[in-house]
Structure 1
Amino acid sequence: MDTRTALLAAAAAVLVVSAVGVVAAPDALDDPREETERPGDLHVAGVVVSPGEVRGETAELRLGVDLRHRGPPVENVTVRHRAIGADSGLLVDETTVDVGTVDGGGERTINGSVDVEREGGYRIETVVFADGERRESRTTRVGGVAALTPDYADTRVGFTEGNVWPTVAVSVREADNTTATLSVSVSVTNRGDTASEPLDLRLLMRQAESNVIADEASETVGSVRPGRTDTVTMTVEVPANYNYYVDAALWSDDVLIDETQGVANLNPRETISADETVEEVEFSVEDFAGGDDAAGGADGADAGAPTGDGSTEDGTPGFGPVVALAALLAAALYARRRA
Structure 2
Amino acid sequence: MNRDAALAGAAVGVVVVALLGVLTVPGVLADPTENGPVRPGAAELRETSIGYDESAVRGETVTLGVETRIRHWGNPTENVTLFVRVVDAESGLVETTETVDVGTLRGDGETPVTANVTVERSGGYRIETVLFRDDERIDEGARTVRGLEALTPTYARSTVSFSDREALPPLAFSVADAGENRTTLELSASLTNAGDSPSEDLSVTFVLRQADSNVVAARTTTDVEAIRPGRTATTTATATVPAEYNYYLDAVLMRDGVVLGTARTAANLDPTKRISVNETEEAVEFRVEDFESGGAAGRTATEAGTAYAAETSTSQPGFGVVAAFVALLAAALLARRHQP
Fold-level similarity (TM above 0.5): yes
Q: Which residue of 2 aligns with 1:150?
A: 153
Q: Deviations over 1:86-133 (max 9, x none)?
A: 232221211111222222442221111222333332211101112211
Q: Which residue of 2 aligns with 1:212?
A: 215
Which has the bigger relative contact order, CA under 8 A and spacing at least 6?
2
Cα 1:109/1:146, change in 2 over 3 Å: same
Change (3 A) 1:287 1:11: same
SS, match of residue 260 in structure 2: strand
Residue number in structure 1 paired with 2:310: none
Counterparts of 2:188 and 2:264 in 1: how far apart (Å)? 12
Structure 2 equivalent of residue 172 of structure 1 = 175
AA in 2 matched with 1:199: L
Question: Which residues in structure 2 correspond to 1:40-79 (within 5 Å)?
Answer: 40-52=41-53, 53-79=56-82
Q: Quote the Cα distance in structure 2 between the aligned partners of 1:289 and 1:23.
A: 53
Instruction: Confirm or deny: 8 A CA contact 1:205 1:245 kept in the other structure.
Output: yes
| Unaligned runs of at least 5 residues, structure 1 | 1-9, 291-339
Deviates more, 1:11-20 or 1:198-207: 11-20
How far apart are residue 60 of structure 1 and its match?
A: 2.0
- Counterpart CA distance in 2 for 1:220 and 1:244 is 23
RMSD: 3.2
Matched, 1:277 2:280: yes
Aligned-partner Cα distance in 1 for 2:39–2:91: 42
The alpha-carbon deviation at position 219 of structure 1 amounts to 1.4
Distance 2:38 2:196 in 1: 56
CA distance in 2, matches of 1:208, 1:177: 20
**Structure 1 letter corresponding to 2:258:** V
Q: Percent identity?
A: 46
1:25-45 CA deviation, whole Å, 9 max, x = no partner? 455545799896121222222
Which shows bigger deviation, 89-98 or 13-22? Answer: 13-22
Contact 1:41 1:71 in 2 (8 A): yes
Checking the alignment, whether the CA contact within 8 Å between 2:171 and 2:189 is kept in structure 1 is yes
Correspondence for 2:334: none
2:199: which partner in 1?
Answer: 196
Question: Greater CA deviation, 187-196 or 95-104?
Answer: 187-196
Tell me, what secondary structure is at the counterpart of 1:112? strand
Q: Deviations over 1:184-211 (max 9, x none)?
A: 1111122345443331111112222232
The letter for the 1-side match of 2:50 is: V
2:227 and 2:122 mapped to 1: Cα distance?
Answer: 33
1:279-338: CA deviation from partner (whole Å, max 9, x where unpaired): 201211122559xxxxxxxxxxxxxxxxxxxxxxxxxxxxxxxxxxxxxxxxxxxxxxxx
Name the count of aligned residue pairs: 284
Do the aligned partners of residues 66 and 28 (structure 1) sit closer, same or farther apart at CA in structure 2, a change above 3 Å counting? closer
Listed as ranges, the matches of 1:1-40 within 5 Å are 19=19, 22-26=22-26, 28-29=28-29, 37-40=38-41
Q: For residues 70 and 289 of structure 1, do their structure 2 counterparts lie closer, same or farther at Cα, with a shift above 3 Å needed?
A: closer
Aligned match of 1:246: 249
Determine which of 87, 97, 102 is the counterpart of 2:105.
102
Given that 1:261 and 1:275 are in contact with CA atoms closer than 8 Å, whether structure 2 keeps it comes out as no
In the alignment, structure 2 segments of 5+ residues that lack a partner are 1-9, 294-340
In structure 2, what is the Cα distance between the partners aligned to 1:282 and 1:60? Answer: 17
C-alpha change, 1:25 and 1:165, in structure 2 (3 Å) is: closer
